[in-house]
């Protein structure tokens, strides 16, 4: 368990949690000043993550967190504080915010079936 709640954190280093992988069961980061979080490693034993009470700025810089959260079957309490159009939305559910980000379509393509080809079709006889 790692308790970093109410610590005044404004940033987290991309390498901050390296080496904790299978041992980390809970991560408490609530009530800090985090506006963004870098891509996090896969925590195979993670049972709880609490990101509530942070003023997340939901823009393309938060896309790695959104993608990471989409792969978790956990409630995390992360909500967007800004921009005003996203205020109050859960980061995990704010898909419309992230759809305009560079790289979104490439990642989405892995989740969605390939579009049908626009190849020329010949009419069937009969």
pLDDT class of 17 with cuts at 50, 70, 90 = confident
**For the chain, how big is the Rg over CA atoms in Å?**
19
Q: Before 83, cis peptide (omega within 30)?
A: yes
N-term to C-term CA, the chain = 69
Q: Band of the pLDDT at 124, cuts 50, 70, 90?
A: very low
CA 56 – CA 11 distance, rounded (Å): 11
CATH of 2-104, one of 3.40.50.2300, 3.40.50.10140, 3.90.1720.10, 3.80.10.10: 3.80.10.10
Contact indicator for 50, 23 with CB cutoff of 8 Å: no
What does the block give as tokens for 98? 């992230």
> What local confidence, expressed as pLDDT, does residue 107 receive?
54
Tens-digit pLDDT profile for residues 27-39: 999 999 999 988 7
> Which pTM was predicted?
0.77
């Amino acid at each position: 368990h790692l308790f970093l709640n109410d610590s005044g954190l404004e940033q987290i280093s991309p390498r901050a949690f390296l080496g904790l992988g299978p041992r980390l069961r809970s991560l408490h980061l609530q009530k800090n000043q985090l506006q963004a979080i870098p891509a996090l490693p896969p925590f195979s034993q993670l049972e709880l993550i609490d990101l509530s009470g942070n003023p997340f700025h939901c823009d393309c810089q938060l896309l790695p967190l959104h993608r990471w959260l989409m792969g978790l079957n956990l409630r995390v309490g992360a909500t967007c504080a800004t921009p005003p159009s996203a205020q109050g939305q859960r980061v995990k559910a704010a898909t419309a915010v992230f759809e305009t980000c560079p790289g979104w379509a490439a990642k989405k393509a892995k989740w969605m079936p390939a579009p049908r080809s626009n190849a020329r079709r010949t009419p069937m006889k009969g």
